[in-house]
Amino acid sequence: MDDLSTPTGREAALVAVPAEDGTPPRVLVLGATGYIGGRLVPRLLAAGYRVRVLARDTSRLGAFTWGADVESVQGDATDAEAMAEATADVDVLYYLVHSMSAGAAFEDADRRAARTVADAAAGAGVSRIVYLGGLHPEDAPLSAHLRSRVEVGEVFLASGVPTLVLQAGVVIGSGSASFEMVRHLTEVLPYMPAPRWVRNHIQPIAVRDVLHYLLGAAKIAPDVNRAVDIGGPDVLRYGQMMNGYAVVAGLPQRAIAALPVLTPRLASHWVNLVTPIPRSIARPLVESLQNECVMKDHDIDDLIPPPEDGLTSYRHAVRLALGREQEDRVETSWLDAEVLGVPSDPLPSDPDWAGRTVFVDARSAHTSAPQEALWRVIEGIGGANGWYSSPILWAIRGWMDRLVGGIGLARGRRSRERLQVGDALDFWRVEALEPGSFLRLRAEMKVPGLAWLELRAVAEENGSRYEQRAVFFPLGLAGRLYWLAVLPFHGFIFSGMASRIAATAEMDVEASAQPVTVTR
């Protein structure tokens, strides 16, 4: 955690204040594996707090550099028993959980989770709740998602536990969904027909400034129980944000035409097709832009002074985000958020397949490259490197998934070279990883069944062997018909993939062995 960007948590104004007996305060973070939570936890540790996290799958914590430094409780925010265990002896609770699902049920789920957490915090004697909500106007109809976030804040404020609700608008940082939407819309479209909300005023905030306020919230006066707005120094129209990005990225200014016919639903479909953001995430983002969202006051300054060097301007936040991506140092990303409605169960072990219908496609290829060279190719698969076979067929499959509301291939990967358990990889998710030898991916594309892809590097006497296995558990007749329909394409895709990965490993070894010629 020595390479944390600002704020690091070690700033004098943010360092934890021990109890009278010298014990560091304990904080509980809900949403620790998310975009904001994954950045907040290491800074809380650096600030001197004892950190506990609640996670549905605690094995995912091992993918984070801070995973071994925190206490963990398995469960979710709707589980009263898990919440009672998680809140025991906790001083400050951070609630960074937001539903991004569609349909009417998510509001009930958000309300139920908030009430469960509020009851557990009150019962355990938690001293403070910190909730990151959404910036919104006071007297205007709100979208369902923004309305739900407001209601969650109200539940905590009425809980009897002193609560600080930080209401933020568009968050700009490397890997944030809001930033990626601005970025891809600007880069892909030289001319953009856009909804009327591109003319609305909004107040973006850099992710580093959000983290500053979250860290500072743990130290405010114990009697504060209120909601406050937070935002950066710039108030912009959404169209100005896009062209501000263009200036920083060295692109021409974009012509933007506001159209009255693009409803939030149509606009989210448009964003889904043009950017990597799936429709399930694009819809609430688009809906949150229907109103002008600007800070109503600066009361936050009386509770948490701004950073010593001042708040980060929008263009500087864009420069920082692009710099982190170019350096391949993105801490957390929307890519790694769980995709609702897709399978999350791990691949059963082979003996558990007995009596079940399962289809398997297994391939292998020998290469003269050593195991470590072969593994480098395997670990770098997907994203910009592609899948080493039939790029047109892979692209078609990705677009088919996007057209039915899936995530498609455009999601890419967070790091160009490294993978961790839980990472997103195009329309796959890293389910299991044994560095140097084994990678298992779980499908998150829309298919009538459950699918996995396993890639393995095995050392041999004269090089190594690449092993590849696709496993598919069909769901009913549709699943069986799907497998039969794609079976002919597997002959091109999977066989070519095996041979090309093995060949690429050999070429990389040969290239690294070539002498470097220096000309004078």
**pLDDT for 454-497, tens place per residue?**
999 999 989 999 999 999 999 888 989 999 998 888 888 999 99
Angstrom distance (rounded) from CA 470 to CA 479: 15
Check pLDDT > 60 for residue 100: no
pTM of this structure: 0.80
Strand ranges (E), 101-160: 128-134
Strands 163-168 and 128-134: parallel
Percentage of the chain beyond pLDDT 90 is 56
DSSP codes, 210-227: HHHHHHHHTTS-TT--EE
At residue 481, what is the residue type? L
pLDDT score recorded for residue 520: 47
Burial class (CB in 10 A: 0-12, 13-18, 19+), 277: buried
**pLDDT for 205-251, tens place per residue?**
999 999 999 999 999 999 999 999 999 999 999 889 989 999 999 99
The pLDDT of 508-517, averaged and rounded, is 76
Instruction: Give φ, ψ of 287 to 5 degrees.
Output: -60, -35
> Residue 102 — pLDDT band, cuts 50, 70, 90?
very low
**pLDDT for 379-425, tens place per residue?**
999 988 899 998 888 888 888 888 887 788 888 888 888 898 888 89
In the structure encoding, which two tokens stand for residue 357, read together? 């219908």
Task: Give CA separation, 287 vs 263, 403, 414, in Å.
Answer: 9, 20, 26
Strands 359-367 and 463-474: antiparallel
CB 341 within 8 A of CB 280: yes
| Local structure of 464: helix, strand or coil | strand
Check pLDDT > 70 for residue 337: no
Three-state SS string over 271-298 comes to: HHHHCCCCHHHHHHHHHCCCCCECCCCC
CB 130 within 8 A of CB 93: yes
**pLDDT for 169-202, tens place per residue?**
999 999 898 898 888 888 887 777 777 777 889 9
Task: Give CA separation, 297 vs 185, 300, 392, in Å.
Answer: 31, 8, 52
CB atoms within 10 A of CB 19: 11
The pLDDT of 163-171, averaged and rounded, is 96
